[in-house]
A and B are shown apart, each in its own frame.
Chain A
Amino acid sequence: MASSSDVNPSAGNNPGNPESGSVPEVPEASAASARRGRVRGRRAAIMAVPAAAVAAGLAILTAEGALGVQFAISGMPFTVTATELNGTGFEQFGGLDQMAPGSPNEGDTGGQVLVITSAIKNATLTKLCQSVDLGGTNLVITAGGGKDKVTASDLTTDSTELSGNAAFNNIEIGNDASTLTKAGVKGPIGVFSQQADTVYIGDLRQTNYATTAGVFKLPGLKLGFGSKGC
């Protein structure tokens, strides 16, 4: 591959020797239009084979839960379900998400969506299922179905719907959202909020509207398209 790396296709630096240099910039020459640059299969394979190996390695490491991956989804509503969520450091406060002016999704909401922001410092989820509606088909990610659970850190979600059977430990209700301390996220001043040392939610179901950000470890990862969401 070193033999060709010195060939400069755009410069056309040796016009006197069309046999060794490449002069495709000369449009009149009949040889120029016949001799085109193209992809050599074996040369591409030099990179494709290790790249595919690394991609497979990343997928395997993620599926084993050794490698955390980061999610930051927005713009599309997506659903998260889990049979069980255990978390330490929990905060929740209300907020208003403002849509872009004139957004077609406005409807009768006046461009504002009331969302609940939940932040969990460290969370363990059993049988996580996450689906995004792509219009007609759903992208479904499932993980944590085996003995290893999904773990997530700095999980922050803006949701419009949140259901489940919740139990809190050491809960403080009615704090000002700007004084929260448990999960390291601060809300806007003057907004109702609550926080707790630990949280347990059974049969969690969340419709997230705006964003989530956090590092997930997803043992037993499955990624696929399906007609049905979570």
Chain B
Amino acid sequence: MSGAPQQGMRSAFRRWRAARPFWGGLLLALGGAEILLSVRASLKVILHVGMQGLAGYLLPTLMLVLGLLIIFSPAQRLFYSITGVMLSLGTWVTSNLGGFFVGLMLGVAGSCMAFGWLPDQEPRRSRRQRRREAREAKAAHPVPPGPEPA
């Protein structure tokens, strides 16, 4: 968080990560991968069961893809995260109770983080500090430059 530009891979990765909902996308992709691992049924059985069996593969695969898209194409994150949360919830029905609940929770948490992510935010401060600054700002000018409505 220091103002001085740092050299090296770490700071470059840090900057790259700061420009996208990295953790949200990663969690969503991990959730999809976990569900895929828990399914792993042979394709022959899947084809026998038909469309419903295919959905068991399709939904977690799409979760994986959407998670990666959130990371690599963050501008579209609202669409990706809304679709991602729906798919995550859908895996409850189609894929082993959402990969025995683990993958479903990862997917929902990741989608929510991607949805709630905003670029270009002030550095994180404690709540108390925020309140005090808001009070001071109010004392200075009657209309506070309030934080962005959530």
Contact = CB atoms under 8 A, between A and B. Distances in A.
Interface of A: 1, 3-5, 7-11, 21-25, 27-28, 30, 32-48, 51-52, 54-55, 58-59, 62, 67-75, 132, 139, 141, 154, 156, 185, 210-211, 213-215, 223
A142 B52 CA distance: 23
A34 B123 contact: yes
Contacts of B108: 48, 51-52, 55
A42 to B, nearest CB: 3
Contact of B20 (A5, A37, A40, A75): A37
A67 B46 contact: no
A68 B97 CA distance: 10
Interface of A is mostly: mixed
Nearest to A26: B15
B118 A51 contact: no
Contacts, number: 191
A38 B124 contact: yes
Given A8-B75, A11-B75, A38-B121, A51 B100 contact: no
14 contacts: A33-B1, A33-B18, A36-B123, A39-B113, A40-B150, A44-B112, A48-B109, A51-B88, A51-B89, A51-B108, A70-B52, A72-B45, A72-B96, A213-B53
Nearest to B37: A75
Nearest to A35: B120
A78 to B, nearest CB: 11
Interface residues of B, number: 62
Interface stretch (B61-69, B78-86, B135-143): B78-86
Contacts of B10: none
B48 A9 contact: no
A52 B42 CA distance: 32
B18 to A, nearest CB: 4
Interface string B19-53: 11101100000000000001111100110110011
A102 B94 CA distance: 31
Given A3-B149, A10-B74, A39-B116, A58 B121 contact: no
Nearest to B101: A223
**4 nearest A-B pairs in the assembled complex, by CB-CB distance:** A44-B116, A42-B150, A22-B120, A9-B119
A24 B19 contact: yes
B103 interface: no
A75 B85 CA distance: 27
A154 B45 CA distance: 11
